[in-house]
Structure 1
Amino acid sequence: MKGLASLFFIAILAMVGIYLVAAMPATDPGNAQGAKDTSLVLSEARDALIGYAVSDATRPGELPCPDMNDDGVIQIATDYVGSNCKSYVGRLPWKTLNLPDLRDAAGERLWYAISPAYHANGSAILDSDTSGALTVYASDGLTLFSSNAVAVIFSPGAALNWQTRGSTVSSCPSLGSSVAGYLCPDNYLDAFNCPGANCRSNASGPFVMGPIRDANG
């Protein structure tokens, strides 16, 4: 996933790395205000996740599962089964986090990827030995920034030509099932014009920090 990103660490038993990624092309001056607005929205989402993590007295540091049906609320069977999330990438559960309906500059809701060990309702205690599992590269797509990020919050930006974000149900490879286009992570993750060798349209990453650059730099 490409975009602008900022790294934040919070100390809760272990150091939790939450990355913010915003799809805002660096070559379009008209996107400057949009990038600023999106950055503020992402920061608000990050702060809410931090608040969620530190407020859990039973298992400090845990984070909610991603929202799989775009209703903003985490629910059993829909978003998690037993002690496992249905998927480790999906929409940010904004209602569960007591947030307003946050949108990026393109009007899209935020998405969210989480390391499996950190999801809510897990059985293992989170401590200094608990590492994140997400990989993040610098904006060149080559320089490794982190191989143990705990979570990534990202704004998808406007749909690319090949992305179908409507209500038509079709196969979603990353979920291994058929869902409406607007629920499939594949239609929000991209590697279009991404620099370097580590850019993939893949729900588990790796993710690439921005700014986005096209073929003209």
Structure 2
Amino acid sequence: MRILVIEDDLHLADNLRAALEKERYSVDLAHDGESGLFHLTEYPLDLAVIDLGLPKMNGIEVIKKAREANLDIPILILTARDRWQDKVEGLDAGADDYLTKPFHSEELIARCNALIRRSAGQANPEMLAGPIRLHTRSQQVWVNDQELSLTAYEYKVLEYLMVNPQKVISKSELTEHIYDQDFDLDSNVIEVFVLRLRKKLDPENVFKPIETLRGRGYRLQSQW
């Protein structure tokens, strides 16, 4: 999953990126409202974390313009303002949730996880697909109640497929959502991850969880 953080406090932005990357998110940073809005509208993202007190364009304007452009990803606002009116203004502009500074990184992670799950229609942190069970908070995966050991990127691929059930996901879309912005989109590394996932999820090739659609991409099987 790929998150954009728009925060002009460079130290806080770096800390947020470190905390989110520790949770296996790919993170892009912007430090003012104008560059943040450009990134929001030009790059594929799963969630945005936006500070309200931004230079060049404040967070409220960024959110309004993003929603006017029909951007429908979840947005979490950060604010150092303690007036309830500021929080209401942010939510009315189109944000989905807010955090007041200072906050604990654990709360930020929990809210990001919840927003991404809800945007995919998954209220529960545990997702199921046939015999596969994935817990987004602990990042554990089981098949027939046997826990698997996945690498960070194998987990990211599986999570993205499970968050988008029955959707055909191209290699480029997978790459864009699990890697940082400067990764080579033409790399065949996604094929390697999918191959490894298949072997770990279904070593006996019994239920074939990941379907390949030639020339189009991959899809998590909806029927078992």
Higher strand proportion, which one?
1
Say which one has the larger Rg.
2
TM-score bracket relative to the smaller structure:
under 0.3
Q: How does the TM-score come out when normalised to structure 1?
A: 0.28
Greater relative contact order, per chain length (Cα 8 Å cut-off, separation 6+): 1
